[in-house]
Amino acid sequence: MNTTSGSAPTAEPRPTYWADGTPLSIQLFTVEDSSYGPYVGLPLRDLWTPDSAHLFTRATAEQIVTDLHRDECGMTAEFADDGTLTFTDEHKEGKDSTRTVRPDEHGRYKIGGLWSWDEWGPHVPHTAGQAAFALGAAEYRCTAEKCTKHPDGLDHLYARGREEAHAVSLQRDEP
């Protein structure tokens, strides 16, 4: 607790990052005005904007690339043999037309500033499968007996959401 002269004690601010700089908790993202995702990511800032970069696993980065190509928005992306991911914007010319993202030491990709992110939630049109995946990701820290019941037949999507959240967060539990 902190105290200052003549004031009541205040609680220490809760840390939002591990000592190595890994954010504590995942968040679900979509591309603004789309029904893509949910993409399980780690925000790099407590307060993020639609242009902020977030950390994503290789599997999520691959899904982002698949959705990007499906959208035919004039932007493409490709993985190199060394894992490097290069985005190309066909609407721009010169060195600003490409952005290269190299995975960090844990294989996560810092993606942002290429389109507007939105928080994935009930306002995003989605399927039951997307909802099961999102629920699994959101409940990645719960024990089996405390997890929310999800529709039969979607267990594999729920499990994939949990796995993705564990992978991007490096399987850490919040302190």
Confidence of residue 36 (pLDDT cuts 50, 70, 90): very high
CB 127 within 8 A of CB 41: no
Per-residue pLDDT of 115-165, as tens digits, reads 999 999 999 999 999 999 999 999 888 776 677 776 678 989 999 999 999
Omega of the bond leading into 103 within 30 degrees of 0 (cis): no
Q: What is the pTM of this model?
A: 0.82
Q: Output the six-digit token pair for 58.
A: 């290789």
Per-residue pLDDT of 62-120, as tens digits, reads 999 999 999 878 899 999 999 999 999 887 776 678 999 999 999 999 999 999 999 99
